[in-house]
Amino acid sequence: MDGSPVRRLALTSATEGDLRARLCARDEQALVELIELTTPWLLGLVQGMLDDADEAEDVVAETFRAVWDTIDPAGPTGLVPLVFRIARNKAIDRLRRRKRQRNLATLWRAEADTVTAPAAGHGGWQIHGQVRHALEGLPEDQRTVIRLAYFSGLTQSEIAQQLGLPLGTVKTRLRLAYGRLRRALAPLRGWFE
């Protein structure tokens, strides 16, 4: 790493392809650019799940180590989604290990922060806008279970317990929400093709 200043990148399909190729060629500056591009979003996601800034940084660090060690030119398309998936899986592993039950107040506070935090200026904010639009298009009861399931990392039975609902109701709401989200996010499918 040469210590040169980091360029502010936009998240575009071309940026993704370029970063992947340079990472495969072991370009250390490309790693710095990937970190610069994705860390604001990774921290937002993982802190929301773990409710612990230090632990979130550990997860993000593990994620970049995993990406650097396993990046493959023939791997699946979508470098940034891959980074998110690795980070989220690692956060879920930690949640399941510690089995910490956060109280509902904490979860709602995280949701409120999510709604009001400014996203513009970060690479990827346009995609963020589309995803937010898809989430806001969900009926409130479905949006609540999706937030707890996806952005807080709770299992279905934990959600049922938190909301005081039968497990079957939680399953039904999640299933309906997944269907709506998949349809709403379908336009983003072609982003890489």
Q: Which of residues 31-90 bind another protein (CB under 8 A)?
A: 31-32, 35-36, 39-41, 43-45, 47-48, 57, 60-61, 64-65, 68, 78, 81, 84-85, 87-89
> Whole-number minimum distance, CB 134 to another protein, in Å?
8
Amino acid at 110: A
Cα distances from 77 to residues 37, 47, 82, 83, 176, in angstroms, run 17, 26, 8, 11, 27
Of 13-21, 100-108, 120-128, the window that binds another protein (rule: CB under 8 A) is 120-128
The reply to whether 122 sits near another protein by the rule CB under 8 A is yes
> Whole-number minimum distance, CB 103 to another protein, in Å?
19
> Whole-number minimum distance, CB 14 to another protein, in Å?
17
Q: Which CB, 15 or 41, lies closer to another protein?
A: 41
Out of 9, 132, 141, 163, the only residue in the binding site for another protein (CB under 8 A) is: 132
> Whole-number minimum distance, CB 51 to another protein, in Å?
13
